């Protein structure tokens, strides 16, 4: 006698997969949107969401809006989308770090938090274990700033609602205001990325976009100013853009 599938589990997995797919673009969904996308009754979706939320696989953001929870993030992303991103990016980052003789890192924002996915420390030491707690002083990180610069208005609002505005210490140019933050992000987007000085380093970062022009991650390089004048910094920026395009091609239609 064959085993019967459990329909509620199938329905729950459909919801988790949907939230994971949407959350790579840092988007949240309403109960109505989830019900429509999965073809389930709203009352069924509501009950499943409440159960998944209690188990840590779904997170409710505000009233009636949902995203994947921490457990779902680690379950799917560490072995799914982010694994593909790391696999595609690793050899490209290694080669670029070798050519530059500088360290390069790959970062993303997941559930409003910054995560380091890869770090290649020159000359060729690739550290592949995701750093899920790499979130301290995230507004100071150019890899965070450049992702936020390519966020939609809704994505940015959700990020600020969860994390607050950058402090004067974190990002003084923003003047601790939402409009100041938006102004700085527009500057970054117009420039095609970040190219600034931070302490004794040239801090350079670019976005990694999907073919649909959604930001999924960023590449960063922090090169000592002692060997990085303006022309070299501009050259690093271009190489990071080339690296990001290769990664985009490797991701296909993700």
> What is the tens place of the pLDDT at every residue in 94-152?
899 888 888 899 999 877 788 888 888 765 555 555 554 556 788 999 999 999 999 98
Residue 186 pLDDT: 96
Token pair of 150 as six digits: 């390519």
Confidence of residue 211 (pLDDT cuts 50, 70, 90): confident
33-80 pLDDT, tens digit each:
999 999 999 899 999 999 998 888 888 887 778 887 777 766 655 445
What's the confidence (pLDDT) of residue 172?
93
Structure tokens at 58: 């779904």
Among 16-30, 81-95, 112-126, which range has the highest average pLDDT?
81-95
When the pLDDT of each residue in the chain is averaged and rounded to a whole number, the result is 85
> Residue 57 in contact with residue 16, Cβ under 8 Å?
yes
Contacts of 44 (CB under 8 A, 6+ apart): 11, 35
Domain coordinates in residue numbering, the chain: 7-75, 78-251
Measured distance CA(103)–CA(251) in Å, rounded? 23
Length, in residues, of the chain: 254
Tokens matching residue 123: 């000359």
For residue 246, name the pLDDT band (cuts at 50, 70, 90): very high
Q: What pLDDT is attached to residue 109?
A: 86
Is 1.10.1060.10 the CATH classification of the domain at 7-75?
no
Inter-residue contact 159 to 148 (CB < 8 Å): yes
- The whole-number pLDDT of residue 129 equals 54
Residue 28 has pLDDT above 90, yes or no: no
Q: Give yes or no for a contact between 31 and 83, defined as CB atoms under 8 angstroms apart.
A: no
At the topology level, CATH places domain 78-251 in Beta-Lactamase (3.30.450)
Helix (H), strand (E), coil (C) string for the chain: CCCCCCHHHHHHHHHHHHHHHHHCCCCCEEHHHHHHHHCCCHHHHHHHHHHHHHCCCEEECCCCEEEECHHHHHHHHCCCHHHHHHHHHHHHHHHHHHHHCCCEEEEEEECCEEEEEEEEECCCEEECCCECCCCCCHHHCHHHHHHHHCCCHHHHHHHHHHHCCCCCCCCHHHCCCHHHHHHHHHHHHHHCCEEEEECCEEEEEEEEECCCCCEEEEEEEEEEHHHCCHHHHHHHHHHHHHHHHHHHHHHCCC
Residue 201, burial from CB neighbour count under 10 angstroms (0-12, 13-18, 19+): middle
Task: Give the pLDDT score at 51.
Answer: 92
pLDDT over 70 percentage in the chain: 87
Q: What is the pLDDT of residue 134?
A: 57
Q: What percent of the chain has pLDDT over 90?
A: 40
């Amino acid at each position: 006698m064959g085993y019967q599938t459990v329909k509620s589990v199938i329905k729950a997995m459909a919801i988790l997969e949907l939230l994971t797919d949407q959350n790579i673009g840092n988007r949240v969904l309403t109960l109505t949107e989830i019900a429509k996308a999965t073809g389930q009754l709203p009352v069924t979706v509501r009950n499943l969401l409440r159960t998944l939320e209690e188990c840590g696989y779904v997170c409710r953001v505000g009233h009636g809006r949902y995203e994947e929870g921490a457990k779902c993030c680690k379950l799917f992303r560490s072995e799914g989308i982010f694994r593909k991103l790391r696999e595609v990016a690793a050899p490209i980052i290694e080669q670029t770090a070798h050519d530059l003789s500088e360290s390069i890192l790959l970062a993303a924002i997941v559930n409003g938090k910054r995560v380091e996915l890869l770090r290649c420390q020159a000359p060729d030491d690739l550290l592949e274990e995701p750093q899920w707690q790499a979130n301290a002083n995230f507004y100071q990180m150019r890899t965070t700033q450049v992702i936020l610069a390519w966020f939609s208005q809704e994505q940015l609002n959700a990020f600020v609602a969860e994390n607050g505005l950058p402090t004067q210490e974190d990002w003084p140019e923003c003047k601790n205001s939402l409009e100041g933050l938006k102004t700085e992000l527009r500057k970054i987007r117009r420039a095609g990325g970040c190219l600034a000085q931070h302490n004794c380093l040239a801090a350079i970062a670019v976005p990694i976009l999907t073919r649909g022009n959604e930001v999924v991650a960023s590449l960063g390089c922090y090169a000592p100013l002692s060997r990085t004048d303006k022309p070299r910094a501009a050259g690093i920026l271009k190489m990071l853009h080339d690296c990001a395009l290769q990664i985009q091609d490797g991701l296909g239609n993700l």
